[in-house]
Amino acid sequence: MKITEQNFIFQLKNRNEKALEFVISEYGWILNTVVKKQLYQLPNLHDECMNDVLLAIWENIESYDRNRSTFKNWIAGITRFKAIDCKRRYLRYLKEEPLESVGEVSDSKININVLEQEISEEVEKMLSYLNEKDKMIFKRLFVDENTVESVAIDMGIEKAVVYNRVSRGKKKIRKCYSQLRKEQF
């Protein structure tokens, strides 16, 4: 069966690998552009990030809804978030890596500081669409990696309220980013 613009999503959902090849050939430029923009200082991570993105598309194609956004915007969002994940993984690796010489220590500290700054700016940009209380919840859950229970106790609210705020916040962030991507592409 020939994979076309009209049937590639259906074929991806049916686990046809040719459909993924179609995505790479037709939309690879978007993936490449976003990866290079997000990981411009870490070219050695480009291939790893691209693989993560393609796997995420393959595994999450069921969540794509053409009524919510275009396929281009959907994959651009996935790519952006996977690039942030790659930066975080690399940052953890740098912090855990044993260093053997002073030159490496200084280079490593520079890399760590730059990456931490980039990640921090990216997170702040994403959270800028939320009110202060929701920002605090998101930071505690996703940056500080606290549990929902501990956030609820610390803030004096029910766990259900935390889940609701996170759900609404994610929707708001997705909507804002979807609008931004429409303007970009």
Structural domains of the chain sorted by starting position, each given as residue range(s) with its CATH number in brackets: 1-118 (no CATH), 128-185 (1.10.10)
Q: What is the mean pLDDT of residues 34-55?
A: 91
Q: Which two tokens stand for residue 160?
A: 């259900």
Tell me the pLDDT of the chain averaged across its residues. Answer: 83
Measured distance CA(38)–CA(44) in Å, rounded:
13
Core vs surface per residue 25-38: b (16+ CB within 10 A) or e: eebeebbeebbeeb
DSSP letter at 141? I
Residue 136, SS3 per DSSP: helix
- pTM exceeding the 0.75 threshold for the entire prediction: no
Measured distance CA(113)–CA(173) in Å, rounded:
26
- pLDDT digit string (tens) for 103-160? 444 455 556 677 777 777 777 887 888 888 998 898 888 777 888 899 999 899 998 9
Residue owning tokens 């993105």 = 53
In this model, does residue 102 exceed pLDDT 50?
no
